[in-house]
Amino acid sequence: MFIIKLGGSVITNKAKECYFKQDVVDRLAVELKKANKQVILIHGAGSFGHIIAKQYMLNNGFKQKKQIKGFAMTQAMVQHLNSLVISSLHNHDIPAVSIPPHAILTLSNHKLTRMNYTIFEQYLDLGFTPVSFGDVALDTRLGFSICSGDLLLQMLAAEFKPEKVIFVLDEDGLYSANPKTNKNATFIEKATRKDLEKLTTRVDAHADVTKGMKGKLHTIKQIAREGVNTILLNGNIHNCLYDTLKGKKVRSTIVYGDKI
């Protein structure tokens, strides 16, 4: 079984509110169907969630009444994105079912305190493809906060110990610095958790409410502690996801799980 995260930067244009990349998602759906693997799929919120969440400062918790509107709008928008993803999967004969995070988990000061893993297991056992996503959720300390797709990925990886975790990004994998802004950034083909400890990243001006690559590195290190390998690949390259699922070599980064 694989747990796959489709990044918000791959399936949406993060600079344009509610801009869905239908052609990209359709192609990735084709690759998933063709690979024929058991999968839990997570997707980011992209421009359907981050813009409004940042505007209403939802990750700071409940501070003022006007945030209630922002929370409700954000929840509706990420569910709309989820319905677009689900629809694409259905159109390619993948029996996807939506599992909204706000309905199955509780946070406390941004940390997960309760999550219903059984629902994922039951759907998998019946042959469905569970699909969850970055969302806003209740928080017992803060009132509410953001549950990122990366946090979901981390917790699901710890629970299910998949064959691999795959991040589908808009770049080839990990670099020593942001390749979009630093021409001297070097590509990292293989790494261990200890290697990542040495890799410092800077949150750039466009970092979203889930801290971008800095947040991903934290997530990947936690997944490595569980002994699970993580692959980061470019979702904009045709068949990169398919080839990875079939065990073929592609340009990507692999972060090895700790030996347990």
Count how many domains the chain has. Answer: 1
**Mind listing the pLDDT tens digit for each residue in 8-36?**
999 999 888 889 999 999 999 999 999 99
- For 7, phi then psi, to 5°, come to -65, 145
CATH number for the domain that contains residue 197:
3.40.1160.10
Q: How many percent of the chain have pLDDT more than 90?
A: 80
145 pLDDT band (50/70/90 cuts)? very high
> Which structural domain, as residue segments, surrounds residue 134?
2-256
Residue among 121, 122, 124 at smallest CA distance from 38: 124
**Residue that wins the pLDDT comparison between 248 and 177:** 248
Mean pLDDT of the chain: 92
pTM for the model stands at 0.92
**Mind listing the pLDDT tens digit for each residue in 205-250?**
444 444 567 778 999 999 999 999 999 999 999 999 999 999 999 9
Residue among 104, 125, 124, 108 at smallest CA distance from 116: 104
Token pair, residue 180, equals 């979009």
